């Protein structure tokens, strides 16, 4: 047993390790959950959800826009003013008690939108039962950020059944299993442990092209919740028009920065050139610049690989930080205080 494995036993008090290890199972089971069919036509889709429940909509937006469907993601209390009877509103809340999502549900109902909910329990399920709204039930008992396999693949299957997205075969889920096994702590040359080690006592700054923003956003949120560590993200080409000028001050902050570029292999030639030039321009101003290349053949596969990679990095960074990755004390306190009105 190596030092990381010993420290996992010491600091992973709620066994997040097992949840990460079982991610392929969650994905497969999520994809095989029975989903409702809808007869009513819709012209636009609006995803609502926060935190771990919201990342599903971010990825679905990337996939559905390739099918020429307008997709909007809402992480707030209100829906866009154009939400109407021709809108499909998909409300995701793992707990079923997320107040922002419950409010968007009520607005969607007032606007007579077509509604689909995804939840494990809570007030959202009660509302669906009362209002006769279809709900996809997923298993209880997980931290919401560890329920991504269920939150995402149930919705993906919903669109497969509508003949909008392509079916996934066993080979797809085998890749997820292989990629998960790649980051287990017993494996030598473990890139998850390596990157976590590079991030330790540093402030990660992660860049990708626009289509992989959901993936690097997942890195940011997982590093925040699991590692209790700051992490910043941005996308190219946008950062080239402003943020590239930030690498001067404050000097003490630059000493703590470590930059990671995510390379998908799907970038157009101008983005590839921008990454190379940007890397050269900032390399002499900070301690280290890292690159990771994504595995997979499609955008979905590469996004899944990026998410798996980042989840393990955040877990190992929590262990290096000597902190329980599952505990979210400040979030729990905030929710409790909000109950007071």
Residue positions annotated with a catalytic role: 225, 241, 335
Q: Using H for helix, E for strand and C for coil, what is the string for the chain?
A: CCHHHHHHHHHCCCCHHHHHHCHHHHHHHHHCCCCCCCCCCCCEEEEECCHHHHHHHHHHHHHHHCCCCCEEEECCCCCCCCCCCCEEEEEEECCCCCHHHHHHHHHHHHCCCEEEEEECCHHHHHHHHHHCCCEEECCCCCCHHHCHHHHHHHHHHHHHHCCCCCCCCHHHHHHHHHHHHHCCCCCCCCHHHHHHHHHCCCEEEEEEEHHHHHHHHHHHHHHHHHHCCCCEEEEECHHHHCHHHHCCCCHHHHHHEEEEEEECCCCCHHHHHHHHHHHHHHHCCCCCEEEEECCCCCHHHHHHHHHHHHHHHHHHHHHHCCCCCCCCHHHHHHHHHHCCC
Q: What is the CA 12 to chain-centroid distance, rounded?
A: 21
Residue with tokens 């993200």: 233
How many residues in the chain?
A: 341
Collapsing DSSP to helix, strand or coil, 265 comes out as: coil
Residues with Cβ within 8 Å of 240's Cβ and at least 6 positions away in sequence, in order, are: 274, 278
What distance in Å separates the CA atoms of residue 253 and residue 38, rounded to the nearest whole number? Answer: 52
Residue 132 structure tokens: 């006769």
């Amino acid at each position: 047993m190596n030092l990381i494995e010993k420290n996992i036993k010491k600091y992973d008090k709620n066994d997040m390790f097992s949840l990460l290890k079982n991610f392929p199972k969650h994905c497969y089971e999520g994809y095989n959950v029975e989903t409702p069919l809808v007869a009513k036509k819709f012209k636009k889709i609006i995803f609502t959800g926060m935190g771990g429940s919201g990342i599903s909509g971010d990825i679905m937006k990337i996939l559905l826009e390739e099918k020429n469907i307008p997709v909007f993601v809402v992480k707030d209390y209100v829906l866009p003013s154009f939400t109407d009877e021709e809108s499909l509103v998909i409300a995701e809340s793992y707990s079923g008690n997320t107040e922002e999502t419950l409010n968007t549900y009520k607005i969607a109902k007032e606007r007579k939108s077509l509604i689909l909910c995804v939840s494990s329990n809570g007030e959202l399920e009660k509302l669906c039962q009362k209002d006769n709204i279809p709900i996809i039930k997923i298993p209880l008992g997980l931290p919401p950020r560890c329920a991504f396999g269920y939150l995402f693949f149930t919705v993906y299957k919903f669109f497969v059944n509508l003949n909008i997205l392509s079916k996934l075969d066993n080979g797809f889920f085998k890749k997820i299993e292989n990629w998960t096994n790649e980051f287990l702590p017993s494996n030598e040359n473990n890139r998850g442990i390596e990157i976590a080690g590079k991030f330790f006592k540093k402030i990660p700054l992660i860049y990708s092209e626009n289509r992989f923003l959901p993936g690097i956003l997942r890195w940011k949120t997982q590093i925040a919740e699991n590692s209790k560590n700051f992490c910043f993200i941005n996308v190219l080409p946008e950062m080239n028009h402003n943020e590239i000028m930030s690498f001067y001050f404050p000097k003490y902050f630059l000493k703590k920065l470590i930059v990671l570029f995510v390379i998908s292999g799907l970038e157009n030639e101008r983005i590839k050139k921008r990454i190379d030039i940007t890397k050269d321009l900032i390399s002499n101003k900070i301690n280290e610049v890292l690159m990771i290349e994504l595995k997979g053949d499609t955008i979905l596969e590469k996004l899944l690989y990026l998410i798996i990679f980042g989840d393990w990095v955040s877990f190992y960074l929590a262990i290096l930080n000597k902190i329980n990755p599952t505990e979210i004390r400040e979030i729990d306190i905030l929710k409790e205080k909000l109950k007071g009105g």
